[in-house]
Amino acid sequence: MRTYFSIIWILTLASNCLAGNIEFNKLQNPDSLLVQERYKLAIEAYSILLQADSLHSSQEIEYRIKRAYARGQFFQEQSNYEKANEYYAHALKLLEQSNIKLKPTFLIDVHNAYYHSLAYAGSWDKAAIIGKQGLPLLTSQPNDKAKADYIYDLGYINDRLKQYALAIEYYNRAIELYESFEQKNYFDIGLAYNNLGTVYRQINFFKERQNSLQKAKYYWEKDKKIKPHYLVTLYSNLIKLYIEYGDKERAREVFKDLQAINIQALAAQDKLNLYRSSIMFYVNNDYLKRAEITLKKSQKLFHELATSQQQKHIHQILASQLLLVDAYTEGNQLEKGKKMLSKITPLAQIHKQHYYEMLAFTKLANISILEENFEKGISFLNQAYAIHSLYQIGAINESNILIKKANLRLKTFEFETGEKEIQEAIYKLTNQQTNQAFQVNINHFKTQNNSYYVKALKGIADFYWELFKNTQNQQHISKSIHFYALAAATFGYYNQTEHYNHKLHQMNRELTESIFRVFTSQNKPICTDLLTQLEANESQLLRLEFEKKNLEFIALSPQTITKNNLLRYTYTHQDNLSDEYKAALKKQIACLQTTIAKESPAFSYFFRSQISIDQLQGMLEPEEAILKYFVGFERIYLLLLTKNQHKIIDLAKSKQVEQSVLGLLSKLEEPRFQTKANIQMLSNYLIAPIADEITPYKKLNIIRPAELHAIPFEILEYNNIQIIDQFALSYEYSLSIWKFIREHHLNNTLNQELLAAFSPNYFQPEHRDTTDKTWRNHRFTQLLGANLEAEKITRQFSGALFKNDAASIDNFIKNSNRFKILHLAMHAVLNEENPQKSGLVFQENDVLYYSDLYNLSIPAELVVLSACNTGIGQMNTVNEFKSLAQSLTYAGVRSNIHSLWEVPDKETAEIMINFYSFLKKGVGKSEALAQAKRKFLKNNPLKQHPYYWAGFVLQGDNKPIIKKTNPVYYMLGIIGVTSLSLLLFRRKKLR
């Protein structure tokens, strides 16, 4: 009977072949029907074959397995996942019950189809199990693309299951495979990175989230066929990420990319997303009117949508409105903010947008706090927190609501209730591991390190500090210190120190001030580990660039350094070059950078090494101290470091010092103004509290923020005498740079000569652009004193003098690595609006700009900027403080002498000549400058005003350049030579 039906089926199938349905030569190979995805015919084929009398048992099982698989695929195509899963399960059960061996590729197909079908059916947990079971089979999969896709899908399934560790593992494995392909599919790689970024967002791992999204951007932008939907989503996420981090420049770059997308080609949901991201960008950059106009466009588009679509996209409108509420609140337009929130809250409730309802209540609470209506603020926060029972608003949101409530309880004297809320917040922050303060440690936050966690930990610390002030319970102060330390450590993981970031600087400044406040108020010594962490948390951009340049000097030849400098300068300044020549230059630079990378290894252990306070103390000489000033929002503090102690000292109110600095600055550049009263006032703030502490020392290393950068500390008073009379001073940008200089000597394999001076001859250009503030009001008069100074110094040191036409930028670049000392007797120009356009004026009035110096590599021990305004820049923070002196540090120069105002030509020449005289005797740089100033004051009793002598300061290494001859060895040498002469004389006579 089976044979009869088999013949009938074959004849039927043959007729179908003749009709063009399938090829006749594949009748005996139903497996090919599976390959062609013709599952219905494959089912029929296997059913007929199973009726044959001559089947072996193993063949019968094989056909049953394959028929079950074909049936699963057939029903999956019909979206009947329940039936499909039934047949896939049956196929795997038959495989398990038998010992039959089928091709691994087929077994992979079964697992692949089954876990996909389970996922489509919503059985994500079971899909993960089946997918994992198929993983060992992938070693036999010849198709690398199929293998990568399989692993990627497993990542996605675990992502949906919130098994984030597994999701990350699978995504990374898939990416590794995708990137290994010779023919790369940019979309697939970008998609994997994008999803990886989403996972890192879920676990609040900011750094990896950013890295992943940046890589997704790189690959998706290489895919010329990518749909704009993906780019809108990615760009929007990146803008949000950069704004959260405070990276305005990168946010601006991505915003330009977003605006370049053709909005007309976008679907409504993408347009709404684009509008929301635009509003976020406008609000963050204080373009409030643009934000309001964009919101109106967004609302208009939203109201044109069908009701079902409105429900789907209402979150975009709510998010956009809340961004404007933030802007109104920060701008103190509280009524405007409340008016908008009165519309948002009911809208979120109607559409059951619980997350945005929660946000609305927290923003209402913020406004109430600003209005000092604390009870109302607590009420709104209660409403916000209650939403977590309806919707998962996230542990970090729950924690921050509780912390904010607890701090408000202190205002209403509900101490016990507040502490209970803090304990609940701790429980949520630690993923329900503990609610005990001292059981919380940094391991809880290594991969949860966004700004919200830093703020939460600081909020807990603030609570216990305020609670202590009310209760005087020492347990509370201990908890406060514990959480401040945790906040600082968590900030360390969050802060990437790639470049200056105003938002992060402000966050770190506030945190550091809180820590100093607690320790100084209790007269407690701050632990070295915490001080080390605070130093590491500062922006390290300048340090990293300085170290990188100095480590290159060790490995590179002088020829390589010069070639690199010339190529970079030529590329950035030859605007009249053809595009072809520019492209060739760019290629040369790239090739040279490859060579440099080979010659100069990464030395990465230098770049990220911690700055230990104990190490710093060990490097200090017995006669020197470090004074590091910190300006907080409310108070100014000082870190005093000596060989035997470290101490934090509370000095004064920030506003008092700021006013005192401004008052003094206005008088330093004008010798007709009296400065004594102003100097005494500032000295009382900055020096008097530590007068006894610094008495035993002779050298002071001053590290100061931008607020104090324009003040030469030499003019301040110490026990009624000027500091210059008692101490030699040098300045540094950070403890980390100071440490690096002490640890690493300049490369002596460069065989450098001692000194070169550059002294241009100035003239007035006929067609000067007076609209450029770099040039305005600068006539570039001849610097007769500076010219004579340069000639005398070069004769004194038998140095090289580049004068007049020889004092060109080209000669400076070509010779900048030949000499240990570079003396620049020339004008400088200051552009306050754009510091990048400040520069040094060489021959032909050519300007070497700040940005040029930044890009050069100058292996000099000392550069003397005998010019005006070379140390002044924008008054932001020390790491964003842009001056010509700072640009030299970026270039790798170990020390420089620069001016703080427009110094007088004649007096400067006198001080400089004396400085070099002392330097030649083997005196340290800071001591040589101090002695030169003292000599000037002694010889010029009528020129005691700081304008004449205090304008020049030393930045960086204060060690001698020329080795001092020890007089004992000198005398021994004379005695030795005399004795030898006498001995030879006697021998000669005896002969």
pLDDT of 905 higher than 60: yes
Range of 27-36, 598-607, 676-685, 954-963 with top mean pLDDT:
676-685
For the chain, give the mean pLDDT: 86
pLDDT of 155 higher than 50: yes
pLDDT of 470 higher than 50: yes
Query: Using an 8 Å Cβ cutoff, are 658 and 634 in contact?
Result: no
Q: Is 845 left (phi over 0), alpha (psi -120 to 50) or beta?
A: left
Render pLDDT for 321-331 as a digit per residue (tens, 0 to 9): 999 999 999 99
Mean pLDDT of 610-630: 91
pLDDT of 873 higher than 50: no
| SS3 labels along 198-224 | HHHHHCCCHHHHHHHHHHHHHHHCCCC
Predicted confidence band of residue 17 (pLDDT cuts 50, 70, 90) = very low
The Cα angle at residue 371 between residues 369 and 372, in degrees rounded to 5 = 60
Mean pLDDT of 230-255: 94
Mean pLDDT of 736-755: 82
Phi, psi for residue 828 in degrees, rounded to 5: -130, 150
Range of 603-612, 743-752, 878-887, 899-908 with top mean pLDDT:
899-908
Across the strands, what pairs with 701?
626, 730
Mean pLDDT of 516-539: 90
pLDDT of 568 higher than 90: no
Query: Using an 8 Å Cβ cutoff, are 224 and 231 in contact?
Result: no
Phi, psi for residue 573 in degrees, rounded to 5: -120, -15
Q: Which of 144-158, 641-655, 754-768 is predicted with the least confidence, judged by mean pLDDT?
A: 754-768
Output the CA–CA distances (angstroms, integers) from residue 56 to 49, 51, 52, 63, 100, in the order listed. Answer: 11, 12, 10, 11, 12
Rounded Cα distance between 644 and 43, Å, is 87
Return the pLDDT at 765: 56
- What residue ranges define each of the domains in the chain, with the CATH number in brackets? 313-393 (no CATH), 613-739 (3.30.420), 750-956 (3.40.50.1460)
Is the Cα dihedral 313, 317, 322, 324 positive or negative?
positive
Counting every residue written for the chain, the total comes to 991
Reading the block at residue 919, the tokens are: 């330097």
Render pLDDT for 125-150 as a digit per residue (tens, 0 to 9): 999 999 999 999 888 888 889 999 99
B/e letters for 767-777, b = 16+ CB within 10 Å, e = fewer, are eeeeeebbbee
Return the pLDDT at 392: 87
Render pLDDT for 681-718 as a digit per residue (tens, 0 to 9): 999 999 999 999 999 999 999 999 888 988 999 999 98
Under DSSP, the state recorded for 29 is -
Return the pLDDT at 75: 94
pLDDT of 384 higher than 60: yes
Share above pLDDT 90 across residues of the chain, in percent, rounded to a whole number: 61
Return the pLDDT at 382: 97
Return the pLDDT at 879: 39
Query: Using an 8 Å Cβ cutoff, are 631 and 705 in contact?
Result: yes
Element at 637 (helix H, strand E): strand 635-641
Q: Which of 101-115, 439-453, 738-752, 793-807 is predicted with the least confidence, judged by mean pLDDT?
A: 738-752
Predicted confidence band of residue 867 (pLDDT cuts 50, 70, 90) = low
Is the Cα dihedral 11, 13, 15, 18 positive or negative?
negative
Radius of gyration, CA atoms only, the chain:
37
Predicted confidence band of residue 117 (pLDDT cuts 50, 70, 90) = very high
Rounded Cα distance between 873 and 882, Å, is 5
Element at 683 (helix H, strand E): helix 676-686
Phi, psi for residue 758 in degrees, rounded to 5: -115, 125
Return the pLDDT at 551: 78
Q: Which of 20-24, 34-38, 386-390, 507-511 is predicted with the least confidence, judged by mean pLDDT?
A: 20-24
Return the pLDDT at 13: 45
Query: Using an 8 Å Cβ cutoff, are 170 and 186 in contact?
Result: no
Between 581 and 615, the more confident residue is: 615
Strands 721-722 and 839-841, how do they pair?
A: unpaired
pLDDT of 207 higher than 50: yes
- In three-state secondary structure terms, 12 is helix
pLDDT of 272 higher than 70: yes
Render pLDDT for 173-202 as a digit per residue (tens, 0 to 9): 999 999 999 888 999 999 999 999 999 988
